[in-house]
Amino acid sequence: MSGENQQVDASSTPDAVPGPPAGHAVSAVPAVPSVPAERASRARRLAAPALYLAAAGAAFTYVGTVDPNEPGHYPVCPLLRLTGILCPGCGGLRSAHAFAHGDLAAAFGSNALAVVGYFVFAGFMALWLVRALRGGPVPRIVLRPGHWWAVGAVLLIFAVVRNFSFGSALAP
């Protein structure tokens, strides 16, 4: 076969770039994402952190309006009822009530670890919202096993210390 009369099929070559059929005009305007699609994407990214914030806000609103210091509104801690020992969560509702009313000292006095948890949650949510606005990945809390043991040790020490007379400042 001579190379003079060979017909080349452009669709079968690997370097072929598909184009419009013969006789059709090519548009010089590049494809630009539409603004509503970008807003929908941003709204979709913000939906999850907004729902978490709404749930946390609803919980704090409820605890802020229904006082846990008045008996009968919330159940008593089962560990406290059965053994008389304060668990690390005892005083958490009173802490949330005081925190919702802006009384940080009373919140810290009811349950110091809960107040630390509120600030950790707020920081995590702020980071998540910023990343969602910028289109970044969802932040993850990844702890090594040693860190989990440290968290458990802090909770255990907090629970033990608040049950002794020298740690009465940590008791609700």
107-116 pLDDT, tens per residue? 999 999 999 9
Quickly tell me which residue has 């009313």 as its tokens: 101
Cα–Cα separations (whole angstroms), residue 111 to 128, 131, 163: 26, 31, 13
What pLDDT score does 147 carry? 95
What are 98-107's contacts with CB under 8 Å, separation 24+?
Answer: 99/60, 100/60, 100/61, 100/63, 100/64, 101/64
Mean pLDDT over the full length of the chain? 82
Q: Is the pLDDT of residue 46 over 80?
A: yes
- Which residues, in sequence order, are CB contacts of 125 under 8 Å at separation 6+? 49, 52, 53, 56
Residue whose token pair is 């494809």: 31
Alpha-carbon gap, residue 30 to 111, rounded angstroms: 59
Please tell me whether residue 8 adopts helix, strand or coil conformation: coil
Q: How confident is the model at residue 152 (pLDDT cuts 50, 70, 90)?
A: very high
pTM: 0.69
Residue 168: pLDDT band (50, 70, 90) is confident
68 confidence band (pLDDT: 50, 70, 90) = very high
Tokens of 166: 């020298």
Measured between alpha carbons, how far is 156 from 44 in angstroms, rounded to an integer? 40
Q: Higher-confidence residue: 9 or 55?
A: 55
DSSP code of residue 85: P
